[in-house]
Amino acid sequence: GAGVSQSPSNKVTEKGKDVELRCDPISGHTALYWYRQRLGQGLEFLIYFQGNSAPDKSGLPSDRFSAERTGESVSTLTIQRTQQEDSAVYLCASSRRSGGVYNEQFFGPGTRLTVL
């Protein structure tokens, strides 16, 4: 079946502009996660959605970052008034619930964001 997909694959924007990044999770996966990977570093958690529960936004670095999810499908991460330090690869992952617990996460190919 199809994996996690993300769009666009690359985005170049000017400082101060807003950007929207999209994630389509694997069908049937009720949990969706956003991570950020700066050059040469590990992944840092941004936000996750778990079924119908309120999202955990504890990883968002500033109020310029927000995310929405439509039901149990597509999610959009929005960065307002982009700054150069926002340049990174933004990765989305999803997982499904089985036997009352969430299992392994599967990652999309990421969106490489460059802020000039």
Partner 1 sequence: GIQVEQSPPDLILQEGANSTLRCNFSDSVNNLQWFHQNPWGQLINLFYIPSGTKQNGRLSATTVATERYSLLYISSSQTTDSGVYFCAADSNSGYALNFGKGTSLLVTP
Residue range at the interface with partner 1 (CB under 8 A); choices 12-20, 65-73, 79-87, 90-98? 90-98
Q: Half-sphere exposure (CA, 13 Å, Cβ side) for 100?
A: 0
Which is it for the CA torsion 35, 6, 66, 81, positive or negative?
Answer: positive
Alpha-carbon span 99 to 4, nearest angstrom: 22
Closest by CA position to 105, among listed 40, 15, 45: 45
Closest by CA position to 2, among listed 35, 29, 21: 29
Residue range at the interface with partner 1 (CB under 8 A); choices 18-26, 61-69, 71-79, 91-99? 91-99
Q: Which of 43, 64, 72, 87 binds partner 1 (CB under 8 A)?
A: 43
By the rule CB under 8 A, 72 interacts with partner 1: no
By the rule CB under 8 A, 82 interacts with partner 1: no
> Smallest distance, Å, CB 106 to partner 1?
6
Whether the ω angle into residue 25 lies within 30 degrees of 0, i.e. cis, is no
Q: Which of 23, 31, 67, 113 binds partner 1 (CB under 8 A)?
A: 31
C-beta of 48 vs 65, nearer to partner 1: 48
Alpha-carbon span 45 to 51, nearest angstrom: 18
Site residues for partner 1 per CB under 8 A: 31, 33, 35, 37, 41-45, 48, 50, 56, 59, 89, 91, 93, 95, 97, 100-107, 109-110, 112
